[in-house]
A and B are shown apart, each in its own frame.
Chain A
Amino acid sequence: MKTILSRPVYGTLSPQAGSSHLLVADAEGASAILDLARQAPEGFFASAHIMFIPGRSGERFQQSLKALKPAQYYEGPSVAAALPRLKWTLANAHMGLRIYLAGTEGLIGQMMLAATEAGIDHASIQTEQRGSLARRMQCVHCKGITENVTTQPATCSHCGLLLLVRDHYSRRIAAFQGVCINAEDPTEIPQKEEIFR
């Protein structure tokens, strides 16, 4: 896939040497944790904290994740709801904590931002994209953030402008940039296509 250099590059989760492990996933991201578990050394999950946001995956992954017997298991309804717990965990973390993020770019980006704000180098964090390709988008005009954008173009949920969802990505905002697609001629209304599935 053709991409641009501001776009994050994701890898494949693999167990790292560390004293404790924080694994955060949404929806199909859970399957990346399960894949990691197959290569994990004995005792890995005894010092692990799993935070899971099921989203569209419903009840598919909870049993398997709990079966890994992590020291702490959390399930939450949204990234926003999970962030206070994540920030507390990061603020109280000791040296040797390893972070693994898996799932949608929206989840990875926001959790990554919280981690870098806590002083963790973004390059030390393991990431893997799985599941929906939905994007988190910032409107360059009103600055509002629209979650779970699946169409091109997309409507800003704040100001209502029709936006071209660019590949240009800001780690600091954890979002792609949306720019008015019909600013030159507002009477042109391009058809929305579902392309970020």
Chain B
Amino acid sequence: MGINFRQETFRDDFSFKNSPEQVRRFPFPFNEDAYMYAVNIEPHVPGPRNSVFEHLIDVDEHYISEMQDRAMVLAEDPLRCQSLPHMTLAGWDLLELLMVEKAKSYPEHFTLTRDGDRWRWINRPLGIDDTFTFGDVSTLPYGPMEYITRQSQGDFAILDQRDGNLWMDAGTVTTQADWSLDFDIGMNFFEWHAPVPLAHEKGIFTRALKFLTNIQQGQPARRLNWTMTINPRLDTSPENFHKWGSDRLTVTPENVGDKVHLRVELQSFWRLPRSNTLVFPIRCYLIKMDELVAQPKWARRFHRVLRDLPVELADYKGLTRYRPTVVEWLSKYDDGAPTSPGFSPD
């Protein structure tokens, strides 16, 4: 049984929504009633059926529409996809990883045939059937990283490892939570995280770097991160902040359910074999408040998390203007009952 791909938009009329099945598989990021930074990294191993962890590279009902949105962003602003000259080999590594995983997990949608360096890639949802020579850039319509990330949901940052640090030297970033690849490219792990409040003092990044630089091939890891977005807009880039920032003023008690979204990033971390680089796929999942409160446990818990979030974090995540309105709206779904431990709905 294949995926029933939705035709929808993440801009203008914002027709995005989740099917009931997609709501049930949403990666709710809170395992208790409060939130603070932690190095919440765990092995990225296949999870339960019908969860976003079922396959290591998740493809869902939003795939085709997300790829159309990415194509629009890249046409408007090609600087969202950049690769420093020494990162081409890493791009081939990434192309291999994504093609192999997709073909293995979703054979009805993707097929990869390899005859030595001669590869044939069939992507049925996007109508692509290309034959190319692995390692020969002239045989693809784009560089290898751009080619495959135009066919893969989520942002991708590729990190070179040297001098005991990780360097953001390539990426495709069109669905980001407000950071600029064009500004941050070439920075090391501490530099590109420099604006994040509180976490440096807690030693989070020092410990995270130590963990990440030790990741081995075939043993990927993952963590969840979250923020909120007004309207189901994927492209919440700083580049376009002057165009979308005013969305935050449009939240009213009447429209919270449809307009306000919890935005969860599933970040995974993979060692790539030829280049010894790391790739971070940063996959974005959106859920409307109306969809979230269909799970009573999630409604109670998210109300408590949002209500009690430290001011610095609320400011950094850009929630300050509409947080009171959303907390008030969510409070109707919180009867004060205890919540069970863990992420999953009751």
* A184 contacts partner chain B, Cβ-Cβ < 8 Å: yes
The main secondary structure of chain A at its interface with chain B is loop
Q: Chain B interface: which of A42-50, A77-85, A99-107, A169-177?
A: A169-177
Given known A184-B248, A184-B249, A185-B246, contact A140–B194 (CB-CB < 8 A): no
Q: Are B183 and A184 in contact (CB under 8 A)?
A: no
Asked if B183 and A177 sit within 8 Å, CB to CB, the answer is: yes
Question: Which residue of B182, B186, B249 is within 8 Å of A171 (Cβ)?
Answer: B186
Q: Give the total number of A-B pairs whose CB atoms are below 8 A apart.
A: 65
Judged by a CB distance under 8 angstroms, whether B191 is at the interface is yes
Residues of A within 8 A of B192 (CB): 6
CB distance from B233 to the nearest CB of A (A): 13
A132-170 contacts to B, CB under 8 A, are 138, 140-141, 143, 161, 166-168, 170
Contact between B246 and A141 (Cβ–Cβ < 8 Å)? no
| B194 with A168: CB separation less than 8 A | yes
List residues 319-336 of chain B with CB under 8 A from any CB of chain A: 321
Contact flag A7-B249 (CB < 8 Å), given A140-B183, A180-B242: no
Which residues of chain B are near A161, meaning CB under 8 Å?
Answer: 242
User: Does B193 lie at the interface of the complex (its beta carbon under 8 Å from any beta carbon of A)?
Assistant: yes
B279 within 8 A of A: no
Q: Is A186 an interface residue (CB 8 A)?
A: yes
Residue B245 interfacial (CB < 8 Å):
yes
Q: Provided the pairs A5-B200, A6-B194, A184-B321 are in contact, do residues A170 and B242 lie with their beta carbons within 8 angstroms? A: no
Contact between A170 and B241, CB atoms less than 8 A apart: no
> Does B65 interact with chain A (Cβ within 8 Å)?
no
Name the residue on A nearest B191 (C-beta): A6
B238 interface residue (CB < 8 Å to A): yes
- Contacts of A101-142 to chain B: CB distance below 8 A: 138, 140-141
B240 proximity list for chain A (CB < 8 A): 141
A182 and B19 CA atoms in complex are apart in Å by: 36
- The reply on A4 being an interface residue by CB < 8 A is yes
Q: How far is the CA of A190 from the CA of B238 in the complex (A)?
A: 20
- The range of chain A's interface size is 20 to 34
Cross-chain contact A170 with B238 (CB below 8 angstroms): no
Is the pair A141, B249 in contact by a Cβ cutoff of 8 Å? no
Check A183/B246 contact, CB under 8 A, given A4-B194, A168-B194, A173-B183.
yes
A170: contacting residue among B184, B190, B245, B321, CB under 8 A? B184
Contact (A168, B183) CB under 8 Å given A5-B193, A6-B192, A185-B249:
yes
Q: State whether the Cβ of A27 lies closer than 8 Å to any Cβ in chain B.
A: no
CA distance A166 to B150 in the complex (A): 31
Q: How large is the interface on B (under 10, 10 to 19, 20 to 34, 35 or more residues)?
A: 20 to 34
Does B180 sit at the interface, judged by CB under 8 A? Answer: yes
Q: Which residues of A contact B238 (CB under 8 A)?
A: 140-141, 177, 179
Assembly CA distance A143 to B240 (angstroms): 12
CA distance A138 to B249 in the complex (A): 27
CB neighbours (8 Å) of B184 from chain A are 170
Return the CB mask of B184-224 against A: 1 if under 8 Å, else 0. Answer: 11110011111100001000000000000000000000000
User: A7–B249 Cα gap in the complex (Å)?
Assistant: 32
CB < 8 Å neighbour of B194 from A5, A172, A173, A180: A5
Q: Mark B156-186, 1 if CB is under 8 A from A, else 0.
A: 0000000000000000000000001011111
Encode contact with B along A1-42: 1 for CB under 8 Å, 0 otherwise.
000111100000000000000000000000000000000000
When the two chains form their complex, are residues A140 and B239 in contact, meaning their CB atoms are under 8 A apart? Answer: yes
Residues of A near B244 (CB, < 8 A) are: 183
- 0/1 per residue, B126-150, Cβ < 8 Å to A? 0000000000000000000000000
Asked if A170 and B183 sit within 8 Å, CB to CB, the answer is yes
Q: Which residues of A contact B190 (CB under 8 A)?
A: 5-6
Bound CA span A140–B249, Å: 22
Contacts of B249 in A (CB 8 A): 184-185
Complex interface: chain A residues within 8 A of B194 (CB)? 4-7, 167-168
What are 6 contact pairs spanning A and B, CB under 8 A? A7-B194, A141-B238, A143-B79, A143-B182, A184-B246, A184-B321
Chain A residues engaging chain B, CB cutoff 8 angstroms:
4-7, 138, 140-141, 143, 161, 166-168, 170-173, 177, 179-180, 183-186
15 more CB-based (< 8 A) A-B contacts, given A5-B194, A161-B242, A179-B241: A4-B194, A5-B191, A140-B180, A140-B183, A166-B195, A167-B195, A170-B183, A170-B184, A172-B185, A177-B180, A179-B238, A183-B245, A184-B249, A184-B321, A185-B249
A-B pairs with lowest CB-CB distance, top 5: A183-B245, A6-B194, A6-B191, A4-B194, A180-B242
Which residues of B are interface residues toward A (Cβ below 8 A)? 79, 180, 182-187, 190-195, 200, 238-242, 244-246, 248-249, 321
